A and B are shown apart, each in its own frame.
Chain A
Amino acid sequence: MDERRANVISRLTDEYGPALYRLCRSLAYTREEAEDLFQDTLVKALERADRLEAARQPDKYLYAMALRQWQSRQRKFARRRRIAPMGPLDGAEPEQAPGPEEAYIAREELRRVRALADALPEKLRTITALYYGMDMPVKRIAALLHLPAGTVKSRLHRARTMIEEGLKHDE
């Protein structure tokens, strides 16, 4: 029985692992935190293997589990503010890099934008990560978070405004 459940999760991990990891990497501040979240989500998934196997959209189920894990961590000590490290952008690259100096400036700009996105309040940050980090359409985010699509849009708008303000503040 347990072996069957483990096989279910192994299969799902093979199929949806990369996308689940991308979600974790978009939500978490560091790569290490993302790996922890990824692992914890799959351990939790093992407990729910039967439901996952029966789910029509197991990827959505896994994403929801990862989101709950992340939100639970964030809520525990909500008044405590994480000083998140500003790490490398992994594979993210500027679109055009005409020269080394321009490439450096472009990378710095992306880093700053990601820093500001990570500094958003959690409700805005999650939606920003799903929309921009997971390339998830508004309707799907709304379904995943049980929010009206209008709320998702208004939060995206608010997030973008705050990031724009942050960039002006840094200039």
Chain B
Amino acid sequence: MSTHNHPTDVTVTGATDGVPAVFTDPGIPHHRDRQSDLHPAAEKRAERQVTLLFGLSVLGTIGFLVAYFTVPPGETVASMRLSNLLLGLGLFLAMFAIGIAAVHWAKSLMNAHEKAEDRHELRSSDTTRTAAVEMLREGTEDSSIGRRGVLKGAMVSALALAPLSVAVPLIGEVGEDWDVSKFKSTMWRKGTRLAIDPSGRPIRAADVTIGSVVHVIPENLSEAEHPLDEKAKAVVLLVRLDPRDLKEAEDRKGWSYEGIVAYSKICTHVGCPVSLYEQQTHHLLCPCHQSTFDVADGAKVVFGPANRPLPQLPIEVDDEGYLVAQSDFTEPIGPSYWERLR
């Protein structure tokens, strides 16, 4: 730059004399030749490497085919794993080697001089724009739509209404009968026996010892028209606590049987099956979002994103000693929804 002034002479303003306002672009950096540009031997070597890599890919494909024909998945985990591994490695080699070969070719053998290309403004020129506007105007004029208001209205209405012929039946049918009040009831009725999920064995009160937990379905679940739909609402968790540990609301005193309580297994948050029962704390944890309910205290929420306690299923014992429901749940089970309390 400038001459080496004595430091004390320097000021910024002084230095601006003859100095440009902005830096100048040094331009595209000089091309530096690669080994393969300079030495024919290096070029030959690169060529050999690329050829070899393509050859490797061919070997991979052959390996894949050999594995396909000679290594069946079989019946054991080990044979399945071997089949998968060999096929996968063959495919890996077949593909990966082609890729490496092509890139290596481009990098080492193809012309490596950088080129510049001009950009042009994307915007159309003013004359083009004017011509386009003029064309649209002419077209509108030709169609004479501007002068025929009623026709325009008729066309718009026809186009707007026509999709209804697809949309109405679609919306009509897509939600089955649209009867969302089904959320409110399950298949539990007075006298329905509680049965073990998935075997369907009915449960005697005496079978449930303190500290046990039983995953429960209605005994007649398999008779339902759509068992999975019903199961999704009816699953219950049965727990027996020491009656001294159990805190019960006045109006629910009759809902349990000698410390056996039954709660809906469907989380009141977003509907996961809440089923991690910790025997010592009597806490019930949902593995999906960690809502924690206190089974000893009306399944109240003690942690996590759920807001409401799990609905309780009132139970009693029938003449043969089996546990049965007193009625359906007294509130909708599962997550909240807009018209839940309506």
Q: Are A and B physically bound partners? A: no
Footprint of B on A, CB under 8 Å?
A: none
